[in-house]
Amino acid sequence: MDETVRPLRIPPQMTAYADKHVIIHLVQDMMSSLFIDQPDDPVSYLIRLLQRSRADVPRIMVLGPPAVGKHTVAQKLSAELRAVHVTMDTLLLDQSELSNETHRNTRSQQELPVELLIERIQQRLKKSDCFNRGWVLDGLPQTRLQALGLQRAGVIPEHVVMLKAPEDVLLERSLGKLVDPLTGDVYHQTFIWPADDIIAQRLEKGRGFSEEQQLADLQRFRCEVTGLKAAYQHVLKVINGDQPHVDVFQQVLAFIQTRHRSRTPRILLFGPPGSGKSHQARLLSEKYKMVDVCCGQLLKCVAADGSVVGKEIQPYLDEGQPDSLVLQVLDQRLSQVDCSCRGWILHGFPCDLQQARSLQESQHQPNRVFFLELTDDVCVERLSLRATDPVTGERFHTVTRPAPSSQVQDRLKIRPEDHTHTVTHILNQYRTHTAVLQSVYPDAVHIDADQDPHSVFEALESRLNTE
């Protein structure tokens, strides 16, 4: 092939290094910040970005209807993440900078002009505390127009939480709202009561509105909610606020702690026989165009191709291959252009501690690891009731798969490896090594495989671009 048109091959170790040190995310974040802020001195600005005390500075918006609990959640998030809590009140705190028009709008509790609100938010978020520690924007934006204005101004959140609750619950919460005059913390006489008696004694009834005004505010939010969801659909999580506030906060925090990053997938898929590894790998490969690498099938293909390595593997096909040969074959396959560019999903290897360590020491370290969890009884049931069409290789199950045609049914056979005693032996081998494999990959995600394949696939898919 002409060298001028030969595909560029990026060595796998470069990709592994970039993932380990989050280089791609870092560069993307720096470039987006640079183009949005457009500083006069780009080099000094980038140096300042790199010198921040934390790599992942939170940029969070907490939205929802009145009385849904936005303020409580935002306040707890700010304390947990040590980020700056930004509310409408804090934006308007410095009254000396407000114009007469702003004073009038504030006093009459009207909405600030969009341009003025965007300007004040932009100015606040550019201050050093928000720049270095991140921010939690509480209850803003309130409209789609404000959201679009913030986007044009370069205020781009990494996570948006939208709380929801039934209307009758929101009205009840509004009536029982209590405020600590010293701290501004919000409590409720039914739902959130302070544990400290001193705080409880000084609580004051929160500034309330008539029921008609509350209904009007709810109606206004309902008119805007679709536009807000559309504006932030790629970073949005809707959470039910009609549950204990501790549970709400834990769900919000779990979402905030996920990091959406685009990385070339290098996936290890573990699971006992019968857990559906091959099926899930095929589904992921078909949807995301990653390369499905089944170690057993790969070795058979190499053994059949007549190569030098294939001839070395051939004698071992039925009794297990030396690790050095397996790693050599895997290294050749995972180094090919399709795996480097599209990513891969590997199953059937590693099977023990030594193989896992060897893979970790290679240039093909996985960046996502999944364990499909299934009890032995279910595994035995799935495999012992399974039959294979020797012509097509398709597998059928008497319980979970539709019955094949009568012609296919006549030629179905049960493979020797699917007999109960063989399955039990393989399961025992897998369980022997599971604990040590989990110790090598302590951050692996465990998926319940005792559900329909579509649900298992959704669980895997939801964790592909998060960490």
The answer on pLDDT for 159 being more than 50 is: yes
The answer on pLDDT for 425 being more than 90 is: no
Outline where 134-263 has alpha helix (H).
144-152, 167-175, 197-202, 211-231, 245-256
pLDDT category of residue 167 using cuts at 50, 70 and 90: confident
Q: pLDDT, tens digit, for every residue of 19-72? A: 777 777 778 778 877 887 788 898 988 888 888 766 678 999 999 998 898 988
**pLDDT at res. 388:** 66
Share of the chain above pLDDT 70, in %: 77
**pLDDT at res. 145:** 93
From CA 460, how far away is CA 465, in angstroms rounded?
10
pLDDT category of residue 423 using cuts at 50, 70 and 90: confident
Q: pLDDT, tens digit, for every residue of 79-108? A: 999 999 999 888 877 544 444 444 444 444
Beta carbons within 8 Å of 84's beta carbon, 6+ residues apart = 78, 129, 130, 133, 134, 135, 136
Pair 269, 351: CB distance under 8 Å: no
Q: Can you spell out the DSSP letters for 383-449? A: HHTEEE-TTT--EEETTTSPPPPHHHHHH-B--GGGSHHHHHHHHHHHHHHHHHHHHH-TTPEEEE-
**pLDDT at res. 384:** 73
**Distance between first and last Cα of the chain:** 40
pLDDT greater at residue 186 or residue 430: 430
Mean pLDDT of 255-264: 72
Lowest mean pLDDT among 171-180, 224-233, 394-403: 394-403
**pLDDT at res. 316:** 64
Helix axes 353-361, 323-334, angle to 10 degrees: 40
pLDDT greater at residue 397 or residue 266: 266
- Out of 172-176, 401-405, 412-416, the most confident range is 172-176
Mean of the per-residue pLDDT values of the chain: 81
β pairing state of 135-138 and 59-63: parallel
Nearest to 353 by CA among 272, 434, 268, 443: 434
Structure tokens at 300: 């058979």
Q: pLDDT, tens digit, for every residue of 322-358? A: 788 888 899 989 988 888 888 899 999 999 999 999 9
Sign, Cα dihedral of 189, 194, 195, 196: negative
**pLDDT at res. 45:** 85
Share of the chain above pLDDT 90, in %: 32
pTM value is 0.58
From CA 265, how far away is CA 281, in angstroms rounded?
12
Nearest to 374 by CA among 464, 270, 300: 270
The answer on pLDDT for 205 being more than 50 is: yes
**pLDDT at res. 225:** 93
